[in-house]
Amino acid sequence: MRLELGKIQIRDIVFGEKSGISNGVLTIDKAELIKIVGDDEHISSVSVDIAKPGESIRIMPVKDVIEPRVKVEGPGQVYPGLLNKVGTVGEGVTHALAGMAVVTTGKIVGFQEGIIDMCGIGADYTPFSKLNNVVLTIEPTEGIKQHEHERIVRMAGLKAARYLGELGKDIKPDEVKTYETLPLLEQVAQYPELPKVLYVYMLQTQGLLHDTYVYGVDAKQIVPTLLYPTELMDGAVLSGNCVSACDKNPSYVHLNNGVVEQLYAQHGKEINFLGVVITNENVYLMDKERSSNWTAKLCRYLGADAVIITQEGFGNPDTDLIMNCKKIESEGIKTVIVTDEYAGRDGASQSLADADEKADAVVTGGNANEVVLLPKMDKIIGHVSVADVIAGGFDGSLREDGSIEVEIQAITGATNETGFGYLTAKTL
């Protein structure tokens, strides 16, 4: 597949009478956007705010972050299977509104939701503080069940991203990058002298409110399979989970996966990038065995020389991570795992819930148990009162002066396990 991804840089966002893009400024008709995203009987209210880098704004609890994109040429539509028909995506021409995102918030769904500060020390931990954000506060009707609450917020965010993305369909991009992966036998033959590398992309699928969608299908129901990397760029994989904010992969990360970007950057130079194997993270041992067996089998069948593995979440998924690693290594394939750590506030505890001597090449996104004091912000979008109950918070996290003391586990993207963040560590 060959995809041309055109990036339209959004330098500012304003409200106006008519939605459109001109000279890098996105104008939004607020009333029209609210009408589009609020078209669900389970939504009681919708409000829209703009949060820009450097502003004294706190967004919480954050549910998803989405980059608006639109298919300009080629088969399918972005975000397939949820908003659009299930057409195969990943080729043709797609435009992205870069430098901005749609962020969803509102009444808490599950305790594992996060914080985005647009300034201060909290902003230093989250990559999403650097974006111009359109923030949707979605409030549900009374008595709604958690899974339905999650669905309406997820769909509202996607509707907003589609609406805004379509504004860029006829805009000339500021930058165009081309990504191409050939059919497997052709790809192998293209650079026969280079090591063949696969990316094993673990998706969070551990139960209610721990869901990821692949072409609209809950990934708990899949067995490991192969994707073209460009399918991710059109939204073939989207978030629908409430896992700890620091290492959750919001939809923005699926669309802008840094591992994929780096592998493409080295493709044809140091490696031959074959594609992406997606696999799920399971609750029960039998399911973990099945998925890790299939993952290792696929890596061998595709002839990989080396594999990069990333996970989403921590604790229980550490077992899936290590099982994937040791089984792939047992096939004679070199692996590198990318994770984060829960090593205690003093950093002295065991970092992962599972380990194996074969997992000897590790990249870390940092220690999620580190404690930070977030200063008071002038404006809150959402509900600050949940600071005491979200993952990483505790009784007394929200102080009387409006500041919040939390583990960085509560900050969206702080220890992201695809490397989409600012923290890491090295061996001394």
Least confident of 68-77, 169-178, 337-346: 337-346
Give the per-residue pLDDT at 387. Answer: 95
- Catalytic member of 119, 242, 299, 325: 242
Cα–Cα dist 311/203, whole Å? 7
Whole-number Cα distances in Å, 340 to 67, 314, 318, 327, 353: 24, 8, 10, 21, 11
* pLDDT for 33 beyond 90: yes
Share of the chain above pLDDT 90, in %: 89
pTM over 0.85: yes
Cβ count near 128 (within 10 Å): 26
Determine the Cα angle at 379 with ends 102 and 104, to 5°.
20
Are the CB atoms for 48 and 204 separated by under 8 Å? Answer: no
- pLDDT of the residue at 127: 97
Residue 322 clears pLDDT 90, i.e. is over it: yes
pLDDT bucket at 348, cuts 50 / 70 / 90: confident
User: Of 214, 215, 206, whose CA–CA distance to 243 is shortest?
Assistant: 206
Q: Is 50 left (phi over 0), alpha (psi -120 to 50) or beta?
A: beta
pLDDT band at residue 137, thresholds of 50, 70 and 90? Answer: very high
Helices and strands: H and E segment counts in the chain: 9, 25
Give the whole-angstrom CA distance, residue 17 versus residue 28: 7
Mean pLDDT computed over 272-286: 96
d(CA 117, CA 56) in angstroms, rounded, equals 8
Q: What is the pLDDT of residue 346?
A: 87
Most confidently modeled of 77-86, 125-134, 335-344? 125-134
Three-state secondary-structure class, residue 59? strand
Label residue 208 by pLDDT band (50, 70, 90). Answer: confident
Contact 211, 240 (CB under 8 A): yes
Q: What is the rounded average pLDDT of the residues 358-365?
A: 93
Average pLDDT over residues 250-267: 97
242 is catalytic: yes
In sequence order, the 6+-apart residues with CB closer than 8 A to the CB of 389 are 108, 111
- The percentage of the chain sitting over the pLDDT mark of 70, rounded to a whole number, equals 99
| Span 180-191, average pLDDT | 96
